Amino acid sequence: MIASMTGFGRAEAMVGERRIAAELSAVNNRFLEFQIRLPRSLIEIEPKIKKLLSTKLHRGKINFSLSLDANKDITQRLALDKQNADMYFRILNDIKARFDLPGEIRLEHFVNLPELIASESAPVDLDKLWADIEPVCQRALENLYRTRLAEGQYLLADLKARSGLIAELISQIRQRSPINVDLYREKLDAKLKELLADAAVDPQRLALEVALMAEKIDITEELTRLESHLQGFDHALQFDEPAGKRLTFILQELNREANTIAAKSADHQISAAVIEIKSELEKIREQVSNIE
């Protein structure tokens, strides 16, 4: 199944008093690369998130973010900083004794003292929390992959159309292939006769050399390989597994054969057809760069 490398997916859920939200976006990349943004207290679950995402994603730069909102009494709690409280109590007693102040030390003396009450994170059960987070991440991943598949269908239609056009151009070249050899033979024959006009040349030897040179510019094998690679390209479009890398390799082979045909061409119509093929291959290359 052809899937684009670009896409977006989001999911959220309320689990108890927690709102969990996962968001994914993906852009083109030669390899699979992750950028994970998590709350500091959840850094330890990053490997689990990467493992989950890797079940469906094989190429692309993946940006993932997770937010977890909860009431403060769930994730944080206030606590007395006992060390500071003891220190303040000793200081107040020292002041009272030093200046012989009347009265007792009371609660209101502590109210405005800084850093007496601290906020501390409540213990987090990561295994239990992951059990809540995983389904949300899974839905976000499925939403992302759904957008990738939808865009992939547009890419598939375009690639099939361009492959069909290339097949027609190859057919046109094959029909003119014999003419290409004849034209080359005529041009080479005329050139040799011009160069050797004043020399005694064995006509049979000259005809043999012309035939050997003409055989070297025969494009039958290149056309056969070009057709074979194009069939391989069409077959790869039907794969259930990611095909982007395979398609890129096949395109390189298609370009190689097209260049060889262009170098051997003595017919301007064949040359024009090869130019069209190379133009379509370049457009296909741009599209394939978007495929997972």
pLDDT recorded at residue 195: 66
From first to last of its 292 residues, what are the pLDDT tens digits of the chain?
789 999 999 999 998 888 999 999 999 998 999 999 998 888 999 999 999 999 999 999 999 999 988 644 444 567 788 888 888 888 888 888 888 888 888 888 887 888 887 766 556 678 888 999 999 999 999 999 999 999 999 999 999 999 999 999 999 999 888 776 677 767 766 776 676 666 655 667 666 766 666 667 788 889 999 999 999 999 999 988 889 999 999 999 999 999 999 988 878 899 999 999 999 999 999 999 999 9
What's the DSSP call for residue 42? G
pLDDT recorded at residue 71: 47
- Domain 149-288: assigned CATH number: 1.20.120
- What residue ranges in 106-171 does DSSP mark as E strands? 117-121
Check if 7-71+125-147 and 149-288 are the same fold.
no
Q: Per-domain residue ranges for the chain? A: 7-71+125-147, 73-121, 149-288
- Domain 7-71+125-147: assigned CATH number: 3.30.230.70
pTM summary value: 0.69
CA separation (Å) from 120 to 78, 79, 124, 160, 262?
6, 7, 12, 60, 73
Alpha carbons 292 and 290: distance in angstroms, whole number: 7
Q: Using the CB atoms, write b or e for 8-37: b if 16+ within 10 Å.
A: ebebeeeeeebebebbbbbeeeeebeeebe
